[in-house]
């Protein structure tokens, strides 16, 4: 401490006399005496320091007010962000609920018009392999689901049940290579077998080259085979090639159902 005082003794001395001068000026001002020459000199000397001190106090006051204002704005900003996040989450939930309600409404409307009994099931998993195209639904034996029941939605055929457990079932999609459905070309009434491929299209087989099939023709189930009722939409003809070797046409059919976006399906009871 003594070393600090010795090092800055000139500064401390100046500050002492400045303080002393300020005290004298203040005392004289309080007594109301006439300003003397010494007082005038002291006032002249201390005025810049007083002015600087006043500006410093005002600046610190302003900084403090700005800090408090900024802190309030930051807190308000946090509150607004939190409220906005809550509203966005609620909006997403409502939009999801509306979309689910719309899908279920379409299924229910189709279900009401269909003469056979059916039940709604939700998809909870998909087959991991691109070679075997299946999905899992949350209805099984205890819900009345059995093997070889047709699975559909309002837009058309999805596939058929191939495995059943008490609470779940596996569905083979129409695009799987092991899928084969008896179908009819709706306009010309040409019959054939619709098989899946490793792609996202199906092939209509065993249609002779002299049969009338055109792109855009609707393909529906024939009712034969004991699995799919007659008249269910399967897809549309998307390609016809009569120039290939053999007696049959090469016909591609694009499914009417976007199988990659399914969330709920109907299982048709026999």
User: Is the pTM value of this prediction over 0.75?
Assistant: no
Residue 139 has pLDDT above 90, yes or no: yes
How far, in Å, are 42, 99, 108, 187 from residue 184 at the CA level?
Answer: 114, 33, 26, 9
* Mean pLDDT, rounded, for 203-229: 93
What pLDDT shows up at residue 113? 74
Longest Cα separation, the chain: 130
Question: Would you call 246 helix, strand, or coil by DSSP?
Answer: coil
Residue 196 has pLDDT above 70, yes or no: yes
Please report the sign of the dihedral spanned by the C-alpha atoms of residue 29, residue 34, residue 35, residue 37.
negative
What pLDDT shows up at residue 190? 94
What residue spans of the chain are helical by DSSP H? 2-7, 9-31, 37-113
What pLDDT shows up at residue 158? 96
What pLDDT shows up at residue 161? 96
What are the two backbone dihedrals, phi and then psi, of residue 211, each rounded to the nearest 5 degrees? -80, 150
Nearest alpha carbon to residue 227 among 163, 265, 180: 180
Map out the domains of the chain as residue ranges.
1-113, 119-268
Nearest alpha carbon to residue 189 among 215, 222, 156: 222
Q: Which CATH code, of 2.40.10.340, 2.60.40.10, 3.40.190.10, 2.60.120.260, is assigned to 119-268?
A: 2.40.10.340
């Amino acid at each position: 401490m003594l070393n600090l005082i010795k090092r800055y003794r000139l500064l401390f001395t100046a500050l002492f006399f400045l303080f002393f001068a300020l005290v004298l000026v203040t005392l004289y001002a309080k007594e109301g005496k006439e300003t003397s020459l010494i007082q005038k000199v002291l006032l002249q000397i201390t005025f810049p320091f007083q002015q600087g001190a006043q500006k410093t106090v005002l600046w610190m006051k302003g900084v403090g007010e700005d800090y408090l204002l900024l802190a309030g704005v930051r807190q308000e900003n946090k509150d607004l962000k939190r409220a906005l996040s809550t509203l966005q989450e609620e909006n997403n939930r409502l939009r999801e609920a509306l979309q689910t309600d719309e899908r279920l409404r379409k299924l229910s409307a189709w279900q009401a018009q269909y003469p056979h009994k059916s039940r709604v099931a939700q998809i909870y998993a998909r087959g991991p392999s691109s070679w075997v195209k299946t999905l899992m639904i949350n209805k099984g034996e205890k819900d009345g689901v059995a093997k070889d029941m047709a699975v559909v939605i309002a837009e058309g055929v999805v596939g058929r049940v191939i495995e059943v457990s008490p609470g779940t079932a596996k569905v083979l999609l129409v695009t799987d290579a092991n899928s084969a459905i008896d179908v009819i070309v709706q306009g010309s009434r040409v019959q054939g077998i619709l098989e899946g491929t490793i792609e996202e299209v199906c092939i209509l087989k065993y249609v002779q080259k002299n049969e009338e099939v055109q792109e855009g023709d609707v393909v529906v189930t024939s009712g034969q085979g004991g699995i799919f009722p007659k008249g269910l939409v399967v897809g549309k003809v998307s390609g016809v090639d009569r120039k290939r070797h053999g007696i049959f046409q090469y016909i591609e059919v694009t499914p009417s159902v976007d199988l990659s976006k399914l969330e709920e399906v109907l299982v048709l009871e026999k």
